[in-house]
Amino acid sequence: MSTPEQRAASRITGTRLRDAALLLVLSAVVIALSGISLITGEVSIPVTALFDTSNSPAAIIAQEIRLPRVLLAIAVGATLGLSGAALQGLLRNPLAEPGIIGASSSAALGAVLVLYFGLYDLFPFALPAAAVAGALLAIGFLFALAGRDPGVLTLILAGIALSSLTSALISLAINLSPDALSASEIVFWLLGSLKDRSMDHFYLALPFMVLGTILLLSSGRALDALTLGEDTAVSLGFDLRRLRVLLITGTALAVGAGVAVAGVIGFIGLVVPHLLRPLVGHEPRRLLLASMVGGAALVLAADIGVRLIPTQVEMKLGVLTALVGAPFFLFLIFRVRRTRR
């Protein structure tokens, strides 16, 4: 007959094996989708073109057009999924997500200002830096406004207020653009897309994304303790003020950099954690890494989808994620209301 310690160790081992299996499956999905993304487009090319050292058309398409798109899809999706899971764990709110709380639109405002004043041509790092600053201000404002224990209504209203303000300022920048071409470029960029991106865009955003990811992943144990209540988390030795600063900074770095190079791609951070939570339970630490890999898979799939949908002009990635994510968001609101009755 096993002892309680042995049963507990067995449960821990089983949990780790299930998590490892889930991550293995999600990673395999990401690899498969990456291969499909490399060969999908107006011109069909083999995956082997990625390793072709010649200057053939297929090699150029694979290495200079498709590869940056795949890498950015993985990076942007991973950071959005991870940020959504971290914010839901911190706020203990199933509706928390970078786009819904206004972080994405605020990051977009920072990037638009850089584009509007032509600072990107003078200093390329100004684009992700401004986007990160915008996201940082938005999330900081949300925490200051919502207080220590924000409810669903407070969170949604604060996010709507931030999104409305930043949208108005973005519209003002577009309205005051010196010519129609500049305005159209800003509008198309805001719709969110990975088309026509280069390795320069990937290298520009990568340092911010890596640093943000490290900060978010390091918060897992503290988020697990927070599920027991703030007083319990403090009694276990976790500094909640430090945790908030850590997650605010990490989310701002990750989301801001993604918005800077890909525009606004919404609802990934909302959908992915909800899809994966039944598979990992309600422990935020277990959800973080799974949401990171799942977010990469979802953005890759969506980016393949915009190329397969038969439209005269390729649909923007942000438009497709909004079409899928908005009904999912409404479904979650109704479900939350039913559970609280």
CATH assignment at residue 273? 1.10.3470.10
Task: Tell whether 33 is covered by a domain.
Answer: no
The residue among 78, 77, 74, 86 whose CA lies nearest residue 249 is: 86
Residue 95, phi then psi, degrees to nearest 5: -100, 0
Closest by CA to 265, choosing from 78, 35, 30, is 78
- Cα→Cα distances 145→32, 149, 156, 242, 256, Å: 43, 11, 12, 18, 21
**pLDDT in tens for each of the 341 residues of the chain?**
566 665 656 666 767 788 899 999 999 999 999 999 999 988 888 888 888 888 888 899 999 999 999 999 999 999 999 999 998 888 887 777 888 778 888 999 998 888 888 887 788 888 888 998 888 888 777 777 665 555 556 666 777 788 888 989 998 988 888 777 778 878 888 888 998 889 998 998 999 999 999 999 999 999 999 888 888 888 989 988 888 888 888 988 999 999 989 998 988 998 999 899 988 877 889 999 999 999 999 999 999 999 998 888 888 999 999 888 888 878 877 776 676 56
Residue pair 315/308 in contact (Cβ under 8 Å)? The answer is: no
Number of domains within the chain: 1
- Residue 151 maps to a domain: yes
In a domain, 126, yes or no: yes
* Under 8 Å between Cβ of 127 and 259: no
Cβ atoms within 10 A of the Cβ of 160, count?
13
Query: How far is it, in rounded angstroms, from Cα 271 to Cα 257?
Result: 20
Q: Which domain holds residue 276?
A: 68-339
Q: Is residue 51 part of a domain?
A: no
Apex 81 CA angle, 76 and 86, nearest 5: 125
Let me know if residue 12 belongs to a domain.
no
Q: What is the DSSP letter of 311?
A: -
Would residue 183 count as lying in a domain? yes
Within a domain: residue 101? yes
- 166 occurs within a structural domain: yes
Amino acid at 2: S
pTM, two decimals, is 0.88
Which residue carries 């890596």 as its tokens?
Answer: 210
Residues of the chain by 3-state class (helix, strand, coil), percent to 5: 80, 0, 20
